[in-house]
């Protein structure tokens, strides 16, 4: 099964509006020839509209970093899916480990967001991953299976084509420690088996599974060469256009 690479930049809480515009302009210029890779940038909420305007006619897609699972109402400080769609957003990162840890998001709440996003034409990038302590205790697969089962509850098999999984080992996020290509491949292949159990072989085979956690230009090739790694969710290295575009070029070459 051919799965097109997706290279996604998670800008987190970085960049003013003007910095975001400069970054997207610079990315746009550098990758105008890239055709074999889907490229996504996820700026902060306040920069979404301006980044969208400056994506212009390029093939770069726009994502948000979070979403509240209601259309509107008394939810002070939150952003709804119609607001995101209004800004030109097509993907939304859900269940990032920073949100799970700092904002106490549960699998149940993330599941609600996943269902609402899918029902409203937003493609979720569902993040899962184990902590260092869980890995050391040998619980990695159990943790991931629980996250998958609970966050994907009630998702119809025919909607899975609109969803992307991101495996982000918490110990590798922003730490400079990357999972070795072998560790990442082992986990990605396990995730695919779990998806087969939850859905079926076709869904498991077609679902894109991204790796995230200190991915950068220097380690992208080894990671992206693994048969079950279908792209990257990139934090730190997505804030510099040269670094981010080198990863995209690498994926384009391997595709
Ligand atoms: P990192 O972040 O690339 O800076 O490790 C990845 C992420 O949190 O999505």
**pLDDT, position 178:** 86
pLDDT tens digits for 28-65?
999 988 989 999 999 999 999 999 999 977 789 999 99
Active-site option among 96, 98, 130, 147: 96
Q: Which of 10, 96, 125 to mutate to test the pocket of ligand 1 (most atoms within 8 A of CB)?
A: 10
Q: Determine if ligand 1 sits within 6 Å of the CB of residue 233.
A: yes
Of 51, 57, 48, 35, whose CA–CA distance to 81 is shortest? 48
- Work out which ligand 1 atom sits closest to the CA atom of 236: 4
**pLDDT, position 57:** 73
By DSSP bridging, strand 91-94 and strand 5-10 are unpaired
- In the reported structure, the alpha carbon of residue 235 is separated from the centroid of ligand 1 by a whole-number distance in angstroms of 4
**pLDDT, position 1:** 75
**pLDDT, position 176:** 87
Q: Determine if ligand 1 sits within 6 Å of the CB of residue 213.
A: yes
Q: Whose CA is nearest to atom 1 of ligand 1?
A: 235
**pLDDT, position 24:** 97
- Cα(89)–Cα(110) distance, rounded to whole angstroms? 19
Measured between alpha carbons, how far apart are the two ends of the chain, in Å?
A: 13
- Phi then psi for residue 158, to 5 deg, are -75, -5
52 flagged as catalytic: no
Q: Whose CA is nearest to atom 3 of ligand 1?
A: 235
**pLDDT, position 59:** 86
- Cα(213)–Cα(134) distance, rounded to whole angstroms? 16
- Cα(159)–Cα(17) distance, rounded to whole angstroms? 33
Indicate the pTM of the whole model: 0.97
Q: What is the mean pLDDT of the chain?
A: 97
**pLDDT, position 168:** 97
pLDDT tens digits for 124-154?
999 999 999 999 999 999 999 999 999 999 9
Show the low-confidence residues of the chain (pLDDT under 50): none
**pLDDT, position 58:** 78
SS (H, E, C) the chain: CCCCEEEEEECCCCCCHHHHHHHHHHHHHHCCCCCCEEEEEECCHHHHHHHHHHHCCCCCEEEECCCECCCCCCCCCCCEHHHHHHCCCCEEEECCHHHHHHCCCCHHHHHHHHHHHHHCCCEEEEEECCCHHHHHCCCHHHHHHHHHHHHCCCCCHHHHHHCEEEECCHHHCCCCCCCCHHHHHHHHHHHHHHHHHHCCHHHHHHCEEEEECCCCHHHHHHHHCCCCCCEEEECHHHHCHHHHHHHHHHHHHHC
């Amino acid at each position: 099964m051919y799965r097109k690479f997706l290279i996604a930049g998670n800008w987190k809480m970085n960049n003013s509006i003007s910095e975001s515009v400069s970054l997207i302009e610079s990315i746009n210029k550098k990758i105008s020839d890239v055709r074999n890779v889907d490229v996504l940038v996820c700026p902060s909420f306040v920069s979404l509209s301006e980044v969208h305007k400056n994506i212009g006619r390029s093939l770069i897609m726009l994502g948000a970093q979070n979403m509240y699972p209601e259309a509107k109402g008394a939810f002070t400080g939150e952003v709804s899916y119609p607001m995101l769609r209004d800004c030109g957003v097509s993907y939304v990162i859900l269940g990032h480990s920073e949100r799970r840890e700092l904002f106490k998001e549960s699998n149940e709440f993330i599941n609600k967001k996943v269902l609402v996003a899918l029902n409203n034409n937003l493609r979720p990038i569902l993040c899962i991953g184990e902590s260092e302590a869980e890995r050391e205790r040998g619980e990695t697969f159990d943790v991931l299976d629980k996250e998958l089962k609970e966050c994907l509850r009630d998702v119809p098999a025919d909607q899975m084509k609109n969803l992307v999984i991101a495996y982000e080992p918490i110990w590798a996020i922003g730490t400079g420690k990357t999972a070795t290509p072998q560790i990442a491949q082992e986990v990605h292949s396990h995730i695919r088996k779990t998806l087969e159990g939850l859905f079926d072989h076709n869904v498991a085979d077609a679902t894109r599974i991204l790796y995230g956690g200190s991915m950068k230009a220097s380690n992208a090739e080894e990671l992206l060469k693994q048969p079950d790694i279908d792209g990257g969710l990139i934090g730190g290295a997505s804030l510099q256009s040269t670094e981010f575009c080198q990863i995209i070029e690498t994926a384009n070459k391997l595709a």
